[in-house]
Amino acid sequence: MKKVFLLFSMSVLLMISCKNVNTSTTENSYKKKISLNGSWQFLASNEVAETNVLTQDYKQWDTLKVPGNWDTRKRYAEYVGKGYYQKNFKLPTNWQGKQVRLKFGAVYQTAKVWLNGEFLGTHVGGYLPFEFNITQKVKKKEVNSVVVMADNTIKRGAWWAWGGISREVFLEANESVRMVYQHIASVPNFKTKEVAFSIKYKIENNGSSLAKVAIAFRIKDVVKLENKELSIKAGEVKETVIHFTKKLSDVKLWHFDHPNLYQLTSELLIKGKLQDVATDNFGVRKFEVIGEQFYLNNQPVRMNGVNRVHNHPDYGNTEPDHLITQDLLDIKSLGCNFSRLMHAPLSKNILDFCDKNGFLLVEEIPVWGDQDPNSIPNNPLTKQWMKTMIERDFNHPSVVAWSVGNELRNPEGAWSTKALTADQYGYVDSMLDYVAELDTTRLKTYVTITSYRKGEIGTEPYEKVDFISMNSYGNAPVLAEKTHKKFPGKPIFISEIGIGQIGPAPEGGLSDRLVGYLKELKKYPYVTGVSLWSYNDYRSNYKGTPESGFREWGIVSETREKKKAYQQLKDVYEDWEVKEKIKP
């Protein structure tokens, strides 16, 4: 590993020397990231006081694998509440003088973290990363103890509230000056036949003095080594943006049929010494709305899709790479290329697969239903979720839109009277504005079931969405017509379609009525695609769940056994593709 790093450092410095930058080598090479995944001590208890947890004999606790979900273990399968995790670690000797951070990929739903008995902080959310700078708190030469409390009491929707540390945990070492992120936008202009590139860097100086830094970046086959210099005060976090253009003919576009990826590598240097390196894949593509149609790279596209619930009886929502690959290749084979797969931020392995294999995504934060306490105007918590998700996923070309919530509606009255409450309207309205501030390169939406009920212009922020996402569990063609009549001029994506649970494998099938709706929707020019709910059956304790404990909406079972519905959906989507190809 050291040899690889040294070779890489030498190649970087050699290239930088061509730009008249001081090329003195870094004083030490070190492993920047240390995984804390693996076996942790575990205690499931709603009785023990949090302060008492910090003084317990952890060796007497059970053990659990991290990342993972406690609900996949038989003894904790029905447990709801607080789960405590503990692990010891020791820093490498060559991390002396480094900035050290403790990072979590996701903990559901509310997390509290202690280091050596000292409280670090709380995180609420369940599906997004968070971190703590522990430089001044960690023991440099002794064993450290980290304790995490995960509380899965809060649940949303019909999907299972899998508890625990569900994504990776690791320690990261940095120099005093580090690159927080690099965001690259690459938008083709088909009139000027150019691609406008912009790279936004966020740099943090944890040192005690002014730092004069150079950012050297390159994109293979697009941009040779370039650099930018800036000064960052002690304790300052600074953003800087680099703009440049290239001929459209000189780049290969990203498309779901040919997902071409480029790689941006940036080095952060002070007086020629390498401080930090960031490498991200990205794609050059433009997904936009023109009139009532979706356009990808200046060509109109209509999308097939199926939703997928992050759920498996063996893995919970901590889904291994082989399961993601198996499921999404299968979904692609059905003729699907676009979906809001799930009502929550997606895992990194899903995003990476979709980038490399060509699948378009709408990502959404988990604000759902008629009584979600977070659906209030200018909510700082949901803004934090959205900001974290966009910053984490900005470079993924597969992500083409952001959604701020799903199926918000007033809690009282009959279904025919459903509309957004004043608070829900204010929530959607303010969040759409916030998304526009964070990312101007992608589309905005929210998922409605009120547009064809009591929703009207003035009671839904129709003007601020780029396209209408609409769920239908009734006569979808009629409901789409109603929505289009009330909210004309924008594409409609049927983000969920269904009528009732499909039934168990292998005989569970789509009803003739639902198959008919799917075929009929293809006739509507403003309906830009549909997504069946859902690909897989999923664990739930929501009303109407069968005795098995798994809701049977899937075209495959929870263990991925195919149903009759699987071939039915494939036939519908294949028929659509044939008609599209012969259409004059």
Looking at the predicted structure, is the pLDDT value of residue 431 above 80? Answer: yes
Looking at the predicted structure, is the pLDDT value of residue 584 above 70? Answer: no
Q: Is 451 exposed, middle or buried (0-12, 13-18, 19+ CB in 10 A)?
A: buried
pLDDT value of residue 575: 79
Looking at the predicted structure, is the pLDDT value of residue 23 above 50? Answer: no
Mean pLDDT within 201-222: 96
33-173 and 340-466 agree in CATH topology: no
Looking at the predicted structure, is the pLDDT value of residue 11 above 70? Answer: no
Q: Which pairing describes strands 399-406 and 443-448: parallel, antiparallel, or unpaired?
A: parallel
CA distance 346 to 545: 24
Task: Identify any residues that bridge with 85 across adjacent strands, giving them in sequence order.
Answer: 42, 148
Angle at 152 between CA 148 and CA 157, to 5 degrees: 150
User: Of the given ranges (2-6, 299-303, 374-378, 470-474), which has the lowest mean pLDDT?
Assistant: 2-6
User: What tokens were used for 7?
Assistant: 């070779």
pLDDT of 36-47, one tens digit each? 999 999 999 999
pLDDT value of residue 313: 97
User: Of the given ranges (418-422, 459-463, 552-556, 574-578), which has the lowest mean pLDDT?
Assistant: 574-578
Which residue type does 391 have? Answer: E
The SS3 assignment for 53 reads: helix
Pick the CATH number of 33-173 from 2.60.120.260, 1.10.357.10, 3.40.30.10, 1.10.260.40: 2.60.120.260
Which residue type does 119 have? Answer: F
pLDDT value of residue 39: 98
Task: Identify any residues that bridge with 399 across adjacent strands, giving them in sequence order.
Answer: 361
CA distance 310 to 166: 11
DSSP label of 345: P
pLDDT confidence tier of residue 577, bands split at 50, 70 and 90: low
User: What tokens were used for 527?
Assistant: 């309906």
pLDDT of 145-184, one tens digit each? 999 999 999 998 899 999 999 999 999 999 999 999 999 9
- Given a contact cutoff of 8 angstroms between Cβ atoms, the answer to whether 233 and 204 are in contact is no
Sequence spans of domains, the chain? 2-30+176-282, 33-173, 340-466
Buried b (16+ CB within 10 A) or exposed e, 400-411: bbbbbbbbbbbe
pLDDT confidence tier of residue 15, bands split at 50, 70 and 90: very low
CA distance 224 to 68: 42
CATH code of the domain occupying 340-466: 3.20.20.80
Write the CB contacts of 218 (distance below 8 Å, at least 6 apart in sequence).
15, 224, 225, 226, 264, 265
Looking at the predicted structure, is the pLDDT value of residue 21 above 50? Answer: no
Mean pLDDT within 556-561: 98
pLDDT value of residue 26: 42
Which residue type does 430 have? Answer: S
| pLDDT-above-70 percentage for the chain | 94
CA distance 309 to 534: 7
Cis amide bond preceding 534, omega within 30:
yes
Looking at the predicted structure, is the pLDDT value of residue 331 above 80? Answer: yes
| pLDDT-above-90 percentage for the chain | 91
Looking at the predicted structure, is the pLDDT value of residue 22 above 70? Answer: no
User: Could you tell me the fold of the domain covering 2-30+176-282?
Assistant: Immunoglobulin-like (2.60.40)
What dihedral angle (degrees, nearest 10) is formed by the CA atoms of 199, 20, 209, 99?
60
Buried b (16+ CB within 10 A) or exposed e, 462-475: bebbbbbbbbbeeb
Residue 405's nearest CA partner among 388, 422, 390, 386 is: 386
Mean pLDDT within 437-449: 98
pLDDT value of residue 226: 84
Write the CB contacts of 284 (distance below 8 Å, at least 6 apart in sequence).
186, 188, 195, 251, 252, 253, 254, 260, 262, 397
